[in-house]
Amino acid sequence: MAFIPYSRQQITEADIAAVTRVLRSDYLTQGGVLPEFEAAFAARHAVAHAVAVSNATAALHLACLALGIGPGSRVWTSPNSFVASANCALYCGATVDFVDIDPHTRNLSLQSLAGKLSEAKRLDQLPDLVIPVDFAGLPCDLRDMRALADRYGFKVLEDASHATGASYQGAPVGSAHAHATVFSFHAVKILTTAEGGMVTTQDAEIAERVRSLRAHGITREAGQLTNVSPGAWYYEQQELGFNHRMTELQAALGLSQLGRLEEMQAQREALTQRYDRLLAALPVHLPARLDDRTSSWHLYAIELDPDRGAPPRAQVFQALRDAEIGVNVHYIPIHLQPYYRRLGFNAGDFPAAERYYAHALSLPLFPALTELQQNKVVARLRQALT
């Protein structure tokens, strides 16, 4: 049996045909497919505006800027994420801090956030922005976080890079509670454009600012021009933006994949339910399932339980890799990275995130994973744990 990766893209003939149509068209970038993809994504996620960009890191960066983050701003996020969830604030000149995670959901802890906000108010050091991360595809406690945001006066930027198509309290992620939401279309995400990202928001001003920033801060819109246009060639740069546009090729692939989002998620859900059954008796903690939200199941991350006899994670990891099973670890807590340690963070600062990391292991999960492959993963894991 060939190597089983922890994740992989699923490209169909329909996807290839969609990209090929663009290659044979007049526009490889800045054509009509991108707005079609944005409109379809917005409709699927029940939100007024969706703005596509070159990758999710760019989406986080531009969303921070659109939400007013700059030098002197304070931004808090989860330590259990990829570094981009924190780096985006530093790109804007802001300072970054973290809020520890809930051990059950592995998401930013609502209790820890409330306590930290109370202390920050006493010290007059409240955040301007909080970036909760929907880890592995499970939505955060968004309603209660928004209530805290309204109480303490900060904005919420939901990092739903793992959560395309997930739902919270009966509504699609990205549609409510957060001021803006970011999605990722990296190759191993729920749907892919190879690289790519999206910012969704109900706020027209935020959306327009992201559109401007992704294209150098340039506009041709008559109503936005400072000077009277002398002709159709005229444009103005009105702020310092970036080149973070998504190409027509990427948009065509994303639009094609969006059409079968429910099918791919049903396959992920079936595989995770099967994992739950097959792993129930092993000395591991399984991912959380909550009644008021549905995960997109970007990752199936377990925690080895040493109290029930599980050996060290490194030993289990290597045993599975030796068996040609591409397990992975998500994530090394951001504050433990050398760069962030130089900013003053230390081991022990966020103990729940550190405890989770010490025992975390992501098992292979992607729509094309077969039951035979999954059986091998479980058998080798059982062997490694005994």
Record the tokens describing residue 225, joined without a space.
């021009």
What are phi and psi for residue 340, nearest 5 degrees?
A: -75, -30
Which residue among 116, 121, 155, 189 is the active-site one? 189
Alpha helix ranges (H) inside 140-260: 142-152, 204-213, 248-258
Does residue 155 carry a catalytic annotation?
Answer: no
The encoded tokens of residue 350 equal 């966020």
In the chain, DSSP assigns E strands to: 49-53, 74-77, 95-98, 129-131, 155-159, 167-168, 171-172, 180-184, 197-201, 218-219, 236-237, 284-285, 293-294, 300-304, 360-363
How distant, in Å, are the alpha carbons of 9, 31, 34, 210, 308 from that of 252? 15, 11, 7, 21, 49
The sign of the CA dihedral 217, 220, 224, 228 is positive
Strand partners, 38: none
Active site residues: 189
